[in-house]
Chain A
Amino acid sequence: MTMPETEQRAEALRPHAEDAFAHELKALAAADDRPRPTRWKLSPWAVATYLLGGTLDDGTVITPKYVGPRRIVEVAVTTLATDRALLLLGVPGTAKTWVSEHLAAAVSGDSTLLVQGTAGTPEEAIRYGWNYARLLAHGPSREALVPSPVMRAMADGMTARVEELTRIPADVQDTLITVLSEKTLPIPELGDEVQAVRGFNLIATANDRDRGVNELSSALRRRFNTVVLPLPATADAEVDIVARRVDQMGRALDLPAAPEGLEEIRRVVTVFRELRDGVTGDGRTKVKSPSGTLSTAEAISVVTGGLALAAHFGDGVLRPSDVAAGILGAVVRDPAADKVVWQEYLEAVVRERDGWKDFYRACREVTV
């Protein structure tokens, strides 16, 4: 059974973090002489280094997995070390899932104990289910029990992950309260329980600007330390991220590469950042913020959409008119309030800006 499994892993479309970066983890573990919490594969310092990148004494280069403030990663890692659960918050596209996967890989060497949160996530996904054939044949027993990833993590002292915690219905969410405060999972059917062993912890991710989510109850919220992953700090970093992702996606969609489009990408990123931050890039003028999130992920989709427009209906070069409609769609989510915000921005900021004439005109055309 083991042979095919390894092969399968090597060919996987997207290998798990602990497999893809196995050599880095190994080098870190070898070089790491700091105290490690029980059942941790690395010390907290080494976990932070794994995420943020660096060069070890033996010359091994650790690639940065997360580009962002060091202090945030340190708080996240430390939280796990204090046996408090970690809640990663952020707008879409801030690498919450990515960070959570790599944290689990570095701390426990296994990022697969995962519960994906959806509106339909049942309690069994967090507690346990039953193998009904065995249950009917032999009656309730530990053998008939199907443990959830959380339960397995508790028993083995590993890191469990819950994705999109706020999408899970509130009553199912609250199952986690006992797990996180008592560190036990009772099995009333057997009069038994699973007690978490040292090393168990839980990383949850949630989207903090999504509508229609199930807010965490205050009882559950109290069990988490919250770390908000910020949007990229500088325009250059964001342009870089957008350009890179657009390039990847464009290749997947067989769109022509558009190196001339960098200027338009910069413009989209600038517009998004300014509206998001409520102030222009030079810090001189305040602008209102619309109700949408205007995340990096949305900027990426605006640019990709623009590229598709340019490729199929234009001359293949990304132009202001290709992105204008996309930007409008991303900004104006609430037809009344956001439209005023957008028009104000157009008149007060875009119209005056040097070299933005074409863009202004293109936006005026689609804004009615």
Chain B
Amino acid sequence: MSPATARAGGPLLLGVRHHGPGSARAVRAALDAARPGAVLIEGPPEGDALLPLAADPGMQPPVALLAHAADDPGRAAFWPLAGFSPEWVAIRWAQEHEVPVRFIDLPAAHSLAAEGDRPEGDRPEGGEPDAVRLDPLAVLAGTAGYDDPEGWWEDVVEHRGARGDGQDVLGAFEALGDAMGALREAYGDGGHHRDLVREAYMRQRMRAARREFGDAYAVVCGAWHVPALRARTTVAADRALLSGLPKVKVETTWVPWTHRRLARAGGYGAGITSPGWYAHLFTARDRPVERWLTKVAGLLREEDLQVSSAHVIEAVRLAETLAAMRGRPLPGLIETLEAVRAVMCDGSDIPLALVEDRLVVGDVLGEVPDGAPVVPLQRDLTRQQRTLRLKAEAEDRELELDLRKDTDTAKSLLLHRLRLLGIGWGTPVASRSGTGTFRETWRLRWEPELSVRIAEAGIWGTTVLGAATAKAEADAAAAEELGEVTALAEQCLLAGLAQALPAVLRALADRAALDTDVAKLAEALPALARSLRYGDVRGTDATALGVVAAGLAERICVALPSACTAGLDADAAAEMRTHVDGVHGAVGLLADTDEGLRERWSAVLAVLADRDTVPGLIRGRAARLLLDDGRQPAEETARLMGLALSPASSPADAAGWIEGFAGGSSGGGTLLVHDDRLLGLIDTWLVGVPERAFTDVLPLLRRTFGAYEPGVKRTLGELVRRGPGGSAAAVTTGAAPEGFAPDLDPVRAEAVVELVRMLLSAPDRVSAA
């Protein structure tokens, strides 16, 4: 076959689709057929020096060529290359055949300089700034009657190679070039304004190549550019386009890339939806559909789904028949996935989502040899270390930070961000000199492997701030437990990642909405309320956080009553009581953001206090919180206590109520000292406790009253001895020994202790009760 170079004697122009495996295969076939003396590739010429690394055995695609402004690593552009990218195939072909290979696109020095003029945030991440104004493939596919550009491309280009009709390697490039030519006649530059400049530069480089190699060179570029590179323009016109371009100093390196970031879902503008599928098409030698469905079956089996070979056979048949019905030459990704759903997944989308995530996109991570220049993240870190005077030292060192000072705040932010990125240079430790929220203590220790961690983290971004933000957002999306997200929100505030906060809060709201365990919600709330206070100290805007926290409190209000009635045992009730306390405190903090919240919380407490099925401990606690807040008059509290302590309720439950109401260090003793009525109620109840049950409630009562301050105990004892009514004398023997022991009346106390010991040491009675 004659190397039918495009257009009578000109160079071999290979218009491709970036990341198209069919294009890649066709490029290799065309290069094999034409054997050009040099290969030119669309890409920044600054990367030329790094090209030899592509042949390094340590280099595993997917990788990306990264160019960034030397003084501002945040201004960067990536040119991702997968193993099935035509550009990568061309580079490797040239290296194997030892012919020169060069990048010929507009230098990144110019494109990055131009980007710097644009407002922040408007900057596209990809190597093709200004991409997707007009999608040429969509237009061509639409013209051909396809509603899906991917499907059209698969049919006319990718599957040609798969059938192996090598007769027509160059024909496809010709046809596509012509189609693009027609498009560009109709649409001009299609909104890609920068393209004119880029193409002028490419033409200049092609002229240089012609002087060096004659016409025996090949150009691999996006199909869109082919007509422009073919056009005959004057040198002067191209020079005029290129004059006066702004310029910055640029550094380049290779960074590892992932399939996920190649995918459009990963946020890369000029990406592809199905890198895993394309990698499969590129690597499968024959029977791509059968091999693909076998792979899918393997994955589903790993997940314990019953998938037999018969399923694979039927799926292949269905996919092929579907393709035939739709008039496609071979089943595409859509047909195979539909077949998988109908045959292997019982019509369900859930296992199918797994297939899409693991196979269609895939988890492949590229590798870059050690010889590659350092990643910009490292550079950014070094720069910050220098400005903040924080040296990376191997031995332990403690660092005291006062967050009221600006440099110390900056140090704290840096350390927190690094921690988020998994670069554990500093660990927070308990502060030695006092605890205020404005103080932080860190232990610093630089381990050599942290450099590796930085290289790994380079995938998240080019600056510490950018990388930490991206990582936090990804973590939030991946988190499963509510607690993880709450912790993350706290970390974001600590690390000052204001931009990541919306994504994290969204994830938080979502998890909270779906979490059915009130305990988890209640656990998360106090941490959030705390975070709000951090926000205040550090001047972060935490309004959004307040809204989310209020929403969380709302959900707790709805679900708490039923959670408290669902047959809680003693331990669970105790745990729930701490939750009630925690939420109560948090509601107090949140009341500023949502006025009605306090009202609703009080209503919930009232329900808890009043509902018989709620354990006594929680009922008592709720009654107490209501009383303290002045939400419930003392008479009502007395009524509740009377109900809880009436003979009909079980003594254990009643003792729990007292513990909840007056227990611990919550100042319950003082309350009893000052309210005769409440004390009298407890008094009366205690007298009425049957002898057998008394042993059971004794430990609980001891815990309740034992924690009181000695002064309170004494006063209470005296009050009880004086007694509000006739039964007081009898009560004294029962209640007094409890909290007040010897110094009150050693002789009498001795006697009671004897009695108690006797009761406790009677095992049959204890078990009977």
List residues of A whose CB falls within 8 A of some B CB: 44-45, 48, 71, 74-75, 77-79, 81-82, 84, 87, 89, 218, 221-222, 225-228, 278, 285-288, 336-337, 339-340, 343-344, 347-348
Contact = CB atoms under 8 A, between A and B. Distances in A.
The 4 A-B residue pairs whose C-beta atoms are closest, nearest first, are A226-B347, A286-B513, A228-B347, A225-B342
Given A78-B325, A84-B343, A344-B558, 12 more contacts: A71-B334, A74-B325, A75-B322, A78-B322, A82-B318, A84-B314, A222-B310, A228-B349, A285-B509, A344-B513, A348-B554, A348-B555
Contacts of B593: none
Contact of A82 (B321, B509, B513, B555): B321
B559 A286 contact: no
Nearest to B560: A340
B125 interface: no
A44 B314 contact: no
B757 to A, nearest CB: 46
28 contacts: A71-B334, A71-B338, A74-B322, A75-B342, A78-B318, A78-B321, A79-B318, A79-B342, A81-B325, A82-B314, A82-B317, A82-B318, A82-B321, A222-B310, A225-B314, A225-B342, A226-B341, A226-B348, A228-B348, A286-B513, A286-B514, A287-B513, A340-B559, A344-B513, A347-B557, A348-B551, A348-B554, A348-B555
B346 interface: yes
Interface in B283-309: 306, 308
B562 interface: yes
Nearest to A336: B562
A89 B349 CA distance: 13
Most interface-central of A77, A225, A278, A287 (chain B CB within 10 A)? A225
B317 A89 contact: no
B514 A278 contact: yes
The SS class assigned to the B binding surface is helix
B510 A89 contact: no
Contacts of B557: 347
B326 interface: yes
Interface string B325-352: 1100000001000110111011111000
Given A221-B346, A344-B555, A344-B558, A74 B509 contact: no
Given A79-B342, A87-B347, A286-B509, A225 B318 contact: yes
Contacts of A336: 562, 566
Nearest to A48: B325
A288 B513 contact: yes
Most interface-central of A75, A79, A336, A347 (chain B CB within 10 A)? A75
B562 A222 contact: no
A279 to B, nearest CB: 9
B342 A226 contact: yes
Interface residues of B, number: 35
Contact of B510 (A81, A226, A286): A286
Interface in B533-565: 551, 554-555, 557-559, 562
Nearest to B346: A226
A225 B338 CA distance: 10
Given A75-B338, A228-B348, A288 B516 contact: yes
Nearest to B306: A218
Contacts of A45: 325
B602 to A, nearest CB: 15
Nearest to B506: A284
A208 to B, nearest CB: 8
Contacts of B509: 285-286
A221 B338 CA distance: 17
Interface of B: 306, 308, 310-311, 314, 317-318, 321-322, 325-326, 334, 338-339, 341-343, 345-349, 509-510, 513-514, 516, 551, 554-555, 557-559, 562, 566
Nearest to A88: B347
Contacts of B314: 82, 84, 225
B347 A347 contact: no
Contacts of A79: 318, 342
Contacts of B551: 348
Nearest to B561: A340
A182 to B, nearest CB: 14
A226 B334 CA distance: 16
A222 B308 contact: yes
Contacts of B554: 344, 347-348
A79 B310 CA distance: 15
A277 B650 CA distance: 46
Contacts of A218: 306
Contact of A89 (B311, B322, B343, B347): B347
A285 B318 contact: no
A44 B513 contact: no
B747 to A, nearest CB: 56
B70 to A, nearest CB: 42
Given A222-B311, A226-B342, A344-B558, A44 B514 contact: no
Contacts of B555: 344, 348
A225 B343 contact: yes
B558 A347 contact: yes
Nearest to B147: A70
A234 to B, nearest CB: 18
B551 to A, nearest CB: 7
Contacts of A71: 334, 338
Contacts of B558: 340, 343-344, 347
Contacts of B311: 222
Nearest to B557: A347
A226 B341 CA distance: 8
B347 A344 contact: no
A77 B325 contact: yes
A143 B706 CA distance: 94
Nearest to B513: A286
B318 A84 contact: yes
A74 B322 CA distance: 7
B445 to A, nearest CB: 41
A17 to B, nearest CB: 22
B321 to A, nearest CB: 5
A343 B558 CA distance: 7
Contacts of B308: 222
A96 B326 CA distance: 23
B341 to A, nearest CB: 8
Contacts of A75: 318, 322, 338-339, 341-342
Most interface-central of A74, A218, A340, A347 (chain B CB within 10 A)? A340
A278 B510 CA distance: 10
B557 to A, nearest CB: 8
A339 B343 contact: no
Contacts of A89: 346-347
B347 A227 contact: yes
B526 to A, nearest CB: 20
Contacts of A225: 314, 318, 342-343
A227 B345 CA distance: 10
Nearest to B338: A75
Contacts of A344: 513, 554-555, 558-559
Contacts of B343: 84, 225-226
Nearest to B342: A225
Contacts of A286: 509-510, 513-514
Most interface-central of B318, B325, B514 (chain A CB within 10 A)? B325
A195 to B, nearest CB: 21
A81 B321 CA distance: 8
A288 B515 CA distance: 8
Most interface-central of B514, B558, B559 (chain A CB within 10 A)? B558
